Amino acid sequence: MMETSAIIYVLDLFGVAVFAVSGSLAAGKKRMDILGVVVLGVVTALGGGTLRDVLLDSGPVFWINNTVYLLVAAVFSLLTFFAARIITFHRPALLVFDAFGLAIFTSIGAAIALNITNSPGVAILMGVMTGTAGGVIRDILSAEIPLILRKEIYATAALCGAFVYIMIDRLDLSSITCLIVSMTVTLLIRLAAIRWRFSLPVLTSNDDDFSQGGPGAA
Amino acid sequence: MMETSAIIYVLDLFGVAVFAVSGSLAAGKKRMDILGVVVLGVVTALGGGTLRDVLLDSGPVFWINNTVYLLVAAVFSLLTFFAARIITFHRPALLVFDAFGLAIFTSIGAAIALNITNSPGVAILMGVMTGTAGGVIRDILSAEIPLILRKEIYATAALCGAFVYIMIDRLDLSSITCLIVSMTVTLLIRLAAIRWRFSLPVLTSNDDDFSQGGPGAA
Amino acid sequence: MMETSAIIYVLDLFGVAVFAVSGSLAAGKKRMDILGVVVLGVVTALGGGTLRDVLLDSGPVFWINNTVYLLVAAVFSLLTFFAARIITFHRPALLVFDAFGLAIFTSIGAAIALNITNSPGVAILMGVMTGTAGGVIRDILSAEIPLILRKEIYATAALCGAFVYIMIDRLDLSSITCLIVSMTVTLLIRLAAIRWRFSLPVLTSNDDDFSQGGPGAA
């Protein structure tokens, strides 16, 4: 038990660090100043877990009682700011960092929600929300189309990872194994979607007037 | 009391279902894939009540302890996805589903807040926020101009419905009567606004340089 | 102690009033109707403190137990609506009201968080989030580029004010002095940025393909 929570802790910090990098890169692309970069990096890094804690109503959110999270988020945002002056980050860099964060936070979100509620449905939704919320906040605040809305596989990857977690949690495996397998599933699906631009069938519609905003559009 | 909460429960599920349909339609119009449709449908359906529970700090949000909500939201999102391959939904479909959800959630939000806080002002604001939050999340995530911002009567309909609830709650009527009357008020105002494009007087201003973003706009 | 909380209370109400004005002005510029103006004014006014209370999980949010906040927000929104029919507000008006709200809410947010958590890092982040959240909600709901994203100094001003609060709180000064000094720092930096359009160095990048959305952009 002790060991599991230690591993979750390390993974959580790793997720915070990669999302901080992705948030800082997004802020940098919008030419925000150094403190704007740090604020967007920190908010992106802590957004998913914050939503999880607020929805579960499990006391003050995680970064209030343990400021290591805040420190890691701020330090990696600052490092990214300075690194971006030396190294050129291409767009895939942000996407890959985001994919790692998505995979880690989805699995941890599902694990925590399953522990507390014992409901597979809630655990899956909480996993997807924890994994995607940081990125959604980042994209909205940096005025980009949220990754979750792109025609790429994104929420789908998280959904698969969370589902796998729920499934293998029933087997007699250690929590760590479940986390690693679930994370790997999300990460591989997402990276494959980035690399080969996979996509799922879309809701087809002949309703053309709809897509132009229709009556009442401002 | 028992009966009232049973009726609130059924109405709540109905509101979840219609908002799930509206969220799925919005996702489909953006050509999101099947799982994106389900995620947006579920988030739209549960958004308003989630905000209400978080603000009232009444323990874990409602869909964590009762997964029927989650199931209804997911099933209706899926049904919409498949129905949209057979039936053509016109834009008014989304607006009408949204109007039902707005009316139901506004009344329930006002009723719950009034029970807990006994404050009319809080009940009205909570009603409006519960009614509109799901749609705002849907529109932001699907990159549409939020309905609440259109020049149509929207928040206004919710405000009237919530106000009516507060007023008739003082009479010696059953909770169910109050809910039905309040809901009908919101629904009729909103449907009339959709049908005849009613609007209220706007804040007139001669400040032209403002609307172009002014100094400092990025 | 009693005196301090009374002063915080008055400042808090003042912050609510100025943010209500800024929210109503933003709504008016989008030609929203009278009730839309009031709703946006109220949400802007209460947004920052609401986020603070939700994250600290300190019971129902502040405006639920004390409806004076709600009343002040609604009244100032209404007053702004009618005043705007007589007086022409120029863009700087909104920016200046926003600057006062930012300064007040940042200091109060930092003070409350420091009292509860005793952690400087958390207090700074909470100050910045409390100060900026109302404006972010206002700008998102009125479909403007959030002020926090402009190339002006914005989050930076809040960060400096919160930092100053943390620093001088260690000296043997009264809470009121700390609040006033911290507020003045945020306000002066922000007003100077508006007046002379100061900005900080930005994250420079040669990654041109990134800013065009890159592969996968919808």
CA distance A43 to A1: 30
What's the whole-number mean pLDDT along residues C64-80? Answer: 92
Q: Is the CB of residue B179 less than 8 Å from the CB of residue B111?
A: yes
Average of per-residue pLDDT across A70-97: 87
Give me the mean pLDDT over the A114-120 stretch.
Answer: 88
Query: What is the C-alpha separation between A67 and B165, in angstroms, rounded?
Result: 45
A184-188, B84-88, C63-67: lowest mean pLDDT where?
B84-88
Touching B: C residues 3-42, CB under 8 Å: 24, 27-37, 39, 42
Average the pLDDT over A158-177 and give the result.
90
Using 50, 70 and 90 to split pLDDT, how confident is the model at C200?
low
Model pLDDT for residues C22-31, shown as the tens digit of each residue = 999 988 787 7
CA gap A144, A188 in Å, rounded = 24
Structure-model confidence comparison of residues A101 and B200, the more confident one: A101
- Supply the pLDDT for residue B33: 76
Question: Which residues of B fall within a CB distance of 8 Å from A128?
Answer: 39
Residue of B22, B33, B42, B154 for testing the chain A interface, max A β-carbons within 10 Å: B33
What digits encode the pLDDT tens for the residues B49-97? 999 889 888 888 889 888 899 999 999 999 998 888 888 777 678 889 9
Say whether pLDDT at A205 is over 70: no
Chain A contact for C203 (CB, 8 A cutoff):
yes
pLDDT value, residue A67: 86
Q: Which residue of B has its CA nearest to A120?
A: B67
| CA dist., res. B153 & res. B186, Å (int) | 10
Q: What is the pLDDT of residue B198?
A: 62
- In this complex, do A148 and B36 lie within 8 Å of one another by their Cβ atoms? yes
pLDDT at C95 exceeding the cut of 80: yes
The predicted structure's pLDDT at residue A213: 37
Whether B194 has its CB under 8 Å from any CB of chain A: the answer is: yes
| Residue C59 contacts A, CB cutoff 8 Å | no
Flag whether residue B199 sits within 8 Å of chain C, measured between CB atoms.
yes
Q: Does C199 touch chain A (CB under 8 A)?
A: yes
The pLDDT confidence band at residue A207, using thresholds 50, 70 and 90, is very low
Residue A203 has pLDDT above 80, yes or no: no
pLDDT the model gives residue B202: 56
Taking residues B123-139, what's their average pLDDT? 90
What distance in Å separates residue A108's CA from the closest CA in chain C? Answer: 20
Residue C125 with chain A: CB contacts under 8 Å: 42, 63, 70
Torsion of CA C63, C73, A137, A140, to 10 degrees: 160
Give the pLDDT confidence score for residue A215 in this predicted structure: 37
Give me the pLDDT at residue C151, please.
66
What local confidence, expressed as pLDDT, does residue B106 receive?
95
Q: What is the chain B residue with the closest CA to C58?
A: B57
Q: Please work out, in degrees rounded to the nearest 5, the angle formed at the alpha carbon of residue C177 by the alpha carbons of C176 and C180.
A: 85
Average predicted confidence (pLDDT) for chain A: 83
Residue range A119-147: average pLDDT?
A: 86
Q: What pLDDT score does C106 carry?
A: 95
User: Out of A70-74, A116-120, C158-162, which region has the weakest mean confidence (pLDDT)?
Assistant: A116-120
From the list B145, B115, B129, the residue with the least C-alpha distance to B48 is B129
Q: Which amino acid, A123?
A: A
SS (H, E, C) C4-27: HHHHHHHHHHHHHHHHHHHHHHHH
B106 touches chain C (CB under 8 A): no
Average pLDDT over chain C, rounded to an integer: 83
Residue C27 zone, left/alpha/beta (φ > 0; ψ -120 to 50; rest): alpha
Direct distance between the N- and C-terminal alpha carbons of chain C, in angstroms, rounded to an integer: 55
Residue C188, C-beta contacts closer than 8 angstroms, at least 6 positions apart: none
pLDDT band at C34 (very low <50, low <70, confident <90, very high): confident
User: Measuring CA to CA, which residue among B73, B43, B54 is closest to residue B142?
Assistant: B43
CA dist C160 → A67, B167, C16, C25, C152 (Å): 19, 47, 21, 27, 14
Query: Which positions in chain C touch A85 (Cβ < 8 Å)?
Result: 203-204
A116 — pLDDT class (breaks 50, 70, 90) = confident
